[in-house]
Amino acid sequence: MNKAVLKSNLNLNNVTDKYIGKVRDVYNLKNKYLVMLVSDRISAFDKVLPRAIPYKGQVLNQIAEIFLDATSDIVKNWKISCPDTMVTVGKYCKPFPIEMIVRGYLTGSSWRTYKKGARQICGVSIPEGMKEHQKFDKAILTPTTKAVDGHDEDITRDEIINSGLVLEKDYVMLEKYSLELFKRGTDMAAKKGLILVDTKYEFGKIDDEIFLIDEIHTPDSSRYFYADGYKERFDNNEQQKQLSKEFVREWLMENGFQGKEGQEIPNMSDEFVNSVSERYIELFEKITGNKFIKADSKDIESRVQSNVSEFLNKIIS
């Protein structure tokens, strides 16, 4: 079994605070720089699962790096450099307290909501008579709150603006950037034989300027279908062949877990953990067109510490 990072403990100078998310450990250097280590933790139904997935952090970090670079002409982003395969160092931004979810297809949680009879998602009207995995006439925005703990909650555009969560002028720009980023991601995926189904974006500000932050178009933040055979599977009411974290959610549901109170996370065998790792690597190679090169895992902690410290010494006098 390959080694994996469940938690990090980097020894860095000038750390003001450390945020431990579901997957990422973020070191704040005096509200000027952020060091984001993408761990190998995996979450589903807003719960962190007990076992780490080898190379998952590297996959997420390197995919995000590629897409951040490929979309910087649309909106500036927080990234400065990736000194290690699992780490991004970037500018500190004050985050907006919402996530911008863009959906091109009726699938996943949106389908589950629709199947229960809802015909509006986050204030967006959904037509009658749609089928699972059906493409929308145009991509829709279904924002959520950004919860520190627990579940993110659906919220409408009007609720965001009227409550003062985001100024209207800023929200208009977040809508514009999100849809343009989704189009770019869709075009890039299509060239690799994939369909970008849905994804989420997060944004922040430096002074009065908006920046794209966090990850982008990774299997943790996005869902991909294989384009080949999509229409045949849809016409035959079959499940789509997909590359995303949805298969983990489906495995959990099959084993009686949906994150509800009183439910226990099922045992994750070595075989299952390795299969998840292989799926993440498959997505990396499919979406980037590059061969995945596994980083040295003999002593991951020392490797990361050395690479990050060396880079920070160059940019911080």
**pLDDT for the residue numbered 214:** 94
Tokens of 227: 């384009």
Rounded distance between C-alpha atoms, residue 65 and residue 201, angstroms: 14
How big is the CA angle at 14 (ends 11 and 17), to the nearest 5 degrees? 80
**pLDDT for the residue numbered 1:** 53
Tokens of 5: 């990072």
Tokens of 63: 């995919």
Q: Mark 3-22 as b/e (b = at least 16 C-beta within 10 Å).
A: ebbeebebeeeeeeeeeeee
Q: What is the pTM of this model?
A: 0.91
Task: Identify the structural domains of the chain with CATH numbers, from first to last.
Answer: 95-243 (3.30.470.20)
**pLDDT for the residue numbered 283:** 84
Rounded distance between C-alpha atoms, residue 111 and residue 130, angstroms: 9
**pLDDT for the residue numbered 151:** 66
DSSP 8-class letter at 117 = T
Is the alpha carbon torsion for 276, 278, 284, 287 positive or negative? negative
Tokens of 230: 């999509």
For the chain of 317 residues, list the mean pLDDT of each consecutive stretch of 10.
88 95 95 97 92 97 98 98 98 97 96 95 96 97 82 90 97 98 97 96 97 94 94 96 83 94 94 93 92 95 97 88
The CA distances from residue 212 to 25, 99, 148, 196, in Å, are 18, 11, 19, 19
Tokens of 154: 């659906």
In this structure, the dihedral spanned by the alpha carbons of residues 257, 258, 261 and 262, taken in order and rounded to 10 degrees, is -10
